[in-house]
Amino acid sequence: LMDAAGGYYQNLGDTTQKIAFNPDFLHQVGVSREILDADIFISLPKFKTHGLTVMTGAIKNSYGILPGAQKARLHQIAGTPKRFHDVIVEVFRLRIPDLFIMDAVVGMEGNGPASPELREIGLVLAADNAVALDGVVARMMGLDPGRLRFLQTAKTLGLGDYDSQMIEIHGEMPILNDFKLPPLGGEAISGNQAIQELMQTKTQVRPQADPGLCTACESCVEHCPVSALTMKDNIPVADTDICITCFCCQEICPEKAMALS
Ligand code: SF4
Ligand code: SF4
């Protein structure tokens, strides 16, 4: 990636500027100055699933404009998956990108954001509106975008529309047959009252290592931002009172041994 960027690489975490945030979560956040000063901001999301938000895409990609540990801190402050959906929209609207180009050449399905299940899609999707693009991605995954809370919130805030009549599509929009959602993805949006209530608690998902795959390398333990993991009998175990369900351990595991259950 560094070679491809040539002399144009910029570390987005080098300098930040404090700006006002939604006080329900934090009064201020530090945003990458490179992003705030840019004349044009192009976001490059990936077509993939995510256990906490069902899918990740144009809106959630902007979570990366917060350098460093703030991302984990906001996860912690949000506390529940429902509030985390609202946080990602709040971060997104700090500086709305001008253009979105999504890599859907090879997408990810199943237990994202670090699932080994890849899906050949063969498309690059581009849009100037994130809500419309994420609405299209949701439909391609077989989801009703209106059931995803972060999209409902973004639409309510006037950031765009996911209704198909409001989106002009140039090119193809294939619906991916039997696309695999994250373990709770289908139920989380199905309107099942019990599952909806579970989504509002801190107990929805927790990391759990598969003893058959885990090599006890302790990478997850070292990288957990809140030190929620300890090794017990050569397997990392999460303290559910401390874990903020940030998914870092799942993303970092080289063996894909960490699942969320
Ligand atoms: S145990 Fe995993 S999901 Fe929980 S806080 Fe640590 S890195 Fe994040
Ligand atoms: S990073 Fe993966 S393989 Fe290493 S200890 Fe954690 S779960 Fe096991």
Q: What is the pLDDT of residues 156-194, one digit of tens each?
A: 999 999 999 999 999 989 999 999 998 765 455 545 555
Which range (15-29, 40-54, 131-145, 199-213) has the least confidence? 199-213
Beta bridge partners of 41: none
Alpha helices in the chain (DSSP H): 2-5, 33-37, 58-61, 70-78, 81-92, 130-140, 149-156, 185-188, 193-199, 219-223, 248-252
**pLDDT tens profile 82-113:** 888 999 999 999 999 999 999 999 999 988 88
Residue closest via CA to ligand 2's atom 6 equals: 220
User: What's the rounded Cα separation, in Å, for the pair 86 and 151?
Assistant: 9
Q: Which of 52, 218, 224 to mutate to test the pocket of ligand 1 (most atoms within 8 A of CB)?
A: 224
User: What's the rounded Cα separation, in Å, for the pair 192 and 143?
Assistant: 15
Distance of CA 12 to CAs 58, 66, 75, 79, 155, Å?
A: 18, 9, 20, 26, 28
Mean pLDDT, the chain, whole residue set: 88
Percent of residues in the chain assigned helix, strand, coil, to nearest 5 = 35, 20, 45
Report whether pLDDT(153) > 90. Answer: yes
Could you identify the residue written with the tokens 């990108």?
97
User: What's the rounded Cα separation, in Å, for the pair 233 and 25?
Assistant: 38
**pLDDT tens profile 222-258:** 988 788 899 999 999 998 888 877 778 888 888 889 8
Looking at residue 190, what is its pLDDT?
46
pLDDT tier at 198 (50, 70, 90 boundaries)?
A: low
Q: Residue 175 gets which letter from DSSP?
A: P
SS3 of residue 124 by DSSP:
strand
Instruction: Say if CB 256 and CB 213 are below 8 A apart.
Output: yes
Distance of CA 116 to CAs 108, 182, 251, 257, Å?
A: 8, 12, 11, 10
User: For the residues 1-12, what does the mean pLDDT come to?
Assistant: 86
User: Tokens at residue 177, please?
Assistant: 């047959």
- Altogether, the residues listed in the chain come to a count of 261
Residue closest via CA to ligand 2's atom 2 equals: 253
Instruction: Say if CB 30 and CB 18 are below 8 A apart.
Output: yes
Q: Does residue 244 line the site of ligand 1, with CB under 6 A? A: yes
Q: Which of 75, 243, 253, 260 to mutate to test the pocket of ligand 1 (most atoms within 8 A of CB)?
A: 243
